[in-house]
């Protein structure tokens, strides 16, 4: 099975670079999920840890607050995000900052005890390649721990757009079974997964769209409509979405998959 959706990498880089100044004010779900992710590890003390897709540095900062991390390597494909993490962790000496793609990490073999990643790997093109790269960088008893979105994420938005046209307006996300397969293809063992659903509520569909833009979560699939969405199309989607309203609120489902695995 191919471990790919066709993702426009330049669009990913550009979307997250543009969202650097708004990300923190909209990313409450990301922070909540990040804290749950950190609670899934027994200890980060004295470890060399890689944070893949570090964003504005929330997870890295929490790691330093919570434990005696030996060294941290913060990686992001968007340079403004790497700079934001650097600004946040200025007082921490033991951090290296790298602007790089998770699919082509410019790091030596066997250097990390643990790789963590919060809600970033869904933007990668080929997860088997990503996991093979992680395996190369990890020490012999290394571990990965990450969260990513599952297929039910933004299902209300997806079905509402389907009433308007045939384009993919919402990114596709892999199922647990596919994630396990990609990890096995990269020779990871002891794979453990947990799926949780969160529901965020908005006063209007536009408020949801504003949040997605604010965190940089644009549609980055190559099969997206590259033309402008007209006002009439947007209105049609909003009307379709309004049918999902519960108690006067617009719901949005986020399916989160937590994964840990060893080499
Ligand atoms: C939703 S943000 C999550 C940020 C952070 N982990 C957090 O919990 O707040 C996703 C981040 O992953 C980064 N990213 C996306 N694709 C990437 C790739 N291929 N390699 C490295 N970073 C990537 C984006 O630039 C963005 O900063």
Q: How far is the CA of 245 from the centre of ligand 1 (A)?
A: 30
The pLDDT score that the predictor gives to residue 43 is 83
Instruction: List ligand 1's pocket residues with C-beta within 6 A.
Output: 12, 16, 27, 30, 34, 52-55, 58-59, 75-78, 81, 101-103, 118-120, 123-124, 215
- List, in order, residues 6 or more apart from 242 with CB less than 8 Å away: 205, 250
Start-to-end CA distance of the chain, whole Å, equals: 22
Chain centroid offset of residue 112 CA: 20
| Residue in 174, 208, 168 with CA at minimum distance from that of residue 193 | 174
> What are the tens digits of pLDDT across the range 188-212?
999 999 999 999 999 999 999 999 9
Q: What is the pLDDT of residues 230-255, one digit of tens each?
A: 889 899 999 999 999 999 999 999 99
* CB-CB contact of 221 with 172 (8 Å): yes
Q: Which atom of ligand 1 is nearest to the CA of 58?
A: 9
Model confidence at 224, pLDDT cuts 50, 70, 90, reads low
pLDDT for position 222: 55
- Structural domain contains residue 133: yes
Whether pLDDT at 165 is above 80: yes
In-domain check, residue 187 = yes
CATH number at residue 72: 3.40.50.150
SS3 of residue 221 by DSSP: strand
Q: Which of 86, 123, 131 to mutate to test the pocket of ligand 1 (most atoms within 8 A of CB)?
A: 123
CA distance 63 to 65: 5
Task: Tell me, yes or no, whether 77 lies in a domain.
Answer: yes
The domain in which residue 97 lies consists of 9-153+172-197+253-262
Q: How far is the CA of 19 from the centre of ligand 1 (A)?
A: 11
Quote the pLDDT of residue 4.
54
Torsion of CA 96, 76, 117, 101, to 10 degrees: -110
Confidence of residue 28 (pLDDT cuts 50, 70, 90): very high
pLDDT, the chain, mean: 92
Q: Does residue 10 have a pLDDT over 60?
A: yes
Neighbours of 263 (CB within 10 A): 18
- Cα 78–chain centre separation: 13
Is residue 129, in this structure, part of any structural domain at all?
Answer: yes
Per-residue tokens: 196: 């949780």
Q: Which of 53, 43, 56, 59 is nearest to 75 (CA)?
A: 53
Q: What is the number of alpha carbons within 13 Å of residue 192 lying toward its C-beta?
A: 10
Note whether residue 139 is domain-resident.
yes
Q: How many domains is the chain built from?
A: 1
Q: Is residue 80 domain-resident? A: yes
Q: What's the 236 CA to ligand 1 centre distance in angstroms?
A: 31
- The neighbour count for residue 209, using CB atoms within 10 Å, is 16
In a domain, 131, yes or no: yes
pLDDT in tens, 43-56: 888 899 999 999 99
What are the tens digits of pLDDT across the range 94-141? 899 999 999 999 999 999 999 999 999 999 989 999 999 999 999 999
Does residue 150 have a pLDDT over 80? Answer: yes
Q: Which residues contact 52 (CB under 8 A, 6 or more apart)?
A: 75, 102, 115, 116, 117, 120, 121, 146
30 Cβ partners below 8 Å, 6+ apart? 55, 58, 118, 119, 215
Residue 19 pLDDT > 90: yes
- Closest-CA residue to 59 (of 120, 138, 117): 117
Residue 227: pLDDT band with limits 50, 70, 90: low
CA distances from 138 to 35, 48, 110, 114, 251 (A): 23, 10, 5, 7, 40
How far is the C-alpha of 261 from the C-alpha of 263, rounded, in Å? 7
Q: Is residue 221 over pLDDT 60?
A: no
234 inside domain: no
């Amino acid at each position: 099975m191919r471990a790919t959706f066709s993702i426009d990498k330049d669009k990913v880089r550009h979307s997250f670079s543009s969202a650097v100044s708004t990300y923190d004010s909209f990313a409450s779900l990301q922070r909540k999920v990040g804290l749950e992710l950190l609670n899934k590890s027994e200890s980060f003390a004295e470890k060399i840890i890689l944070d893949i897709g570090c964003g504005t540095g929330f997870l890295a900062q929490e790691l330093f607050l919570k434990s005696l991390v030996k060294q941290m390597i913060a990686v992001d494909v968007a340079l403004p995000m790497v700079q934001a993490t650097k600004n946040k962790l200025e007082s921490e000496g033991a951090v290296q900052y790298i602007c790089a793609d998770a699919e082509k990490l410019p790091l030596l073999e066997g250097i990390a005890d643990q790789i963590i990643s919060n809600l970033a790997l869904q933007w990668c093109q080929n997860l088997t390649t990503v996991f093979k790269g992680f395996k190369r960088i990890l020490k012999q008893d290394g571990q990965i721990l990450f969260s990513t979105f599952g297929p039910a994420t933004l299902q209300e938005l997806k079905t509402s757009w389907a009433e308007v046209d045939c384009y993919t307006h919402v990114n596709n996300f892999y199922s647990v079974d596919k994630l396990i397969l990609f990890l096995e293809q990269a020779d990871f063992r002891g794979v453990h997964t947990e799926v949780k659903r969160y529901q965020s509520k908005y006063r209007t569909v536009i408020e949801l769209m504003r949040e997605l833009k604010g965190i940089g979560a644009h549609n980055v699939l190559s099969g997206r409509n590259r033309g402008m969405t007209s006002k009439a199309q947007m209105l049609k989607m909003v009307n379709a979405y309004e049918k999902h309203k519960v108690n006067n609120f617009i719901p949005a489902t986020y399916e989160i998959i937590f994964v840990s695995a060893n080499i």
